[in-house]
Structure 1
Amino acid sequence: MEIFYKIFIGLILATFIPQTIKTITEIIKTRKLSLSQLFVDGGMPSSHSSFVSALSTAMLLTEKLSMLTLVTIAFSAIVIRDSLGVRLEVEKQKKIFKKLYPNETLVEQLKREGHTTLQVFAGIIFGAIVMLAVLL
């Protein structure tokens, strides 16, 4: 199989599998079938981190240490930082919101936004493993 298709399949798997895991977990927790969960942000593992980790792994394996690889790794670092940053900002907003509206239930819904460090780390490891499995 041509390398382009292998990378493409690896990227799809690195994105689709974490989203599927999160959807199945949510269905088990809530006992409700909701395919909209496939498109929800947050949760374990981070599909954003998984995707960019798989992309960086593919570039490192196919292009070795090149300018393209360095740009890909820099792009990945930005995406991963943003995944964590959303959670940090939501936490700040949640504290303010809780003070202003102590009885609101929206505060609990904000809990799922963004990713924890563990979720991002799991996504990074998962994406790299998926791409290694596809390419090697």
Structure 2
Amino acid sequence: MYNNSPQSSILNLSCHTRALPGVNVTQNFRGGENMVPEVKKCTVDRCFYWRDNECFAHSILVGSDEPICETFAMSNQHTSKPADGAIGACHVTQCEYNTSMFCHACSDIEVSWKDSKAQCITFEPRQGV
């Protein structure tokens, strides 16, 4: 069960998309080629890339054997250089939304604290695995 207390930080990502140079994602995803989900909202205020409820990492990585936000960097200081954040890659191949190591979820994605880690709670086990 996830911690829904006021201290629980949540990172909301959305299916809004933008092109990333050199990223080859399926052509039919959100009606365009080379499109990946953008980071829509971030409330993980203990991360270096957080500022004003937004994620300012150029891209985030969700990866390893668990759906963990690998870009999370614990810090009381925050970036001063804004960037449009996007989901750069997802290494959790067991996820239903993972295609060729990219996230294809077309709903808000949430990353929240679980077991002392920032984890993607939008993760859905792949059907038939």
Larger Rg: 1
By relative contact order (CA 8 Å, sep 6+), the higher-ranking structure is 1
Report the TM-score, using the length of structure 1 for normalisation: 0.23
Report the TM-score, using the length of structure 2 for normalisation: 0.24
